[in-house]
Structure 1
Amino acid sequence: ANPEFLKRGDKIVQVYQDFSKETSEWRKSMKPVITTLWKHNFRYSWGHPPFLKIWKGSIQHTIHSLEEGQHLLEAWNIQDDSTSLSPAPGTSTATSG
């Protein structure tokens, strides 16, 4: 892999992608939210430790879990078919009723 190089004064900083298993699993678990954001043309970016920054207009929102993402989409009245917002395999959400 070719790292990106940044200069700050006379110092060179090398930036590498985080390939940790936890980060990879977290990103996979967020796929339902990402798919919905993509379908609705929202800008987003990943952060570390794992979180997702989402822009709606000029306002930035930060989420740390699938549930937070689902609640945010619901607050925006953005709904897709039930499969797109269901948790990824191997994850669970608490339900009441």
Structure 2
Amino acid sequence: MDNADGSRIDITAIRGEIDGRTRVARFLGLARLETSSGYQMETNGLIAELDSGLVTSDGLLEIRAPFGELTAGQVTFLVSEENTGQQMLFTEGVRLIYRPQG
């Protein structure tokens, strides 16, 4: 998915379906997501609203990021209202392992 702010999200999954009427894509089974800002995520499913760029995980997730590793019960990716980049909201039991850049 290419966002209006120039950021990009690539998603792969075992299975997927798109509802053309609502413009919602569901990625089922093991889903992998990679952002243009360097985040790599694995989860049990994703729901993507194609018009808004909003992407929500459907369950637990593991993330490898430029700053370290993170696990959470859910994440929501959205484009900021000011179109300044992607925002990520982690919820439901967040655990962060921070690795400072040397």
- Rg larger in structure: 1
Greater fraction of residues in strand? 2
For the aligned pair, the TM-score class normalised by the smaller chain equals 0.3 to 0.5
Structure showing greater relative contact order (alpha-carbon pairs closer than 8 Å, 6 or more residues apart): 1
Alignment TM-score, normalising by the size of structure 1: 0.33
Alignment TM-score, normalising by the size of structure 2: 0.32
Greater fraction of residues in helix? 1
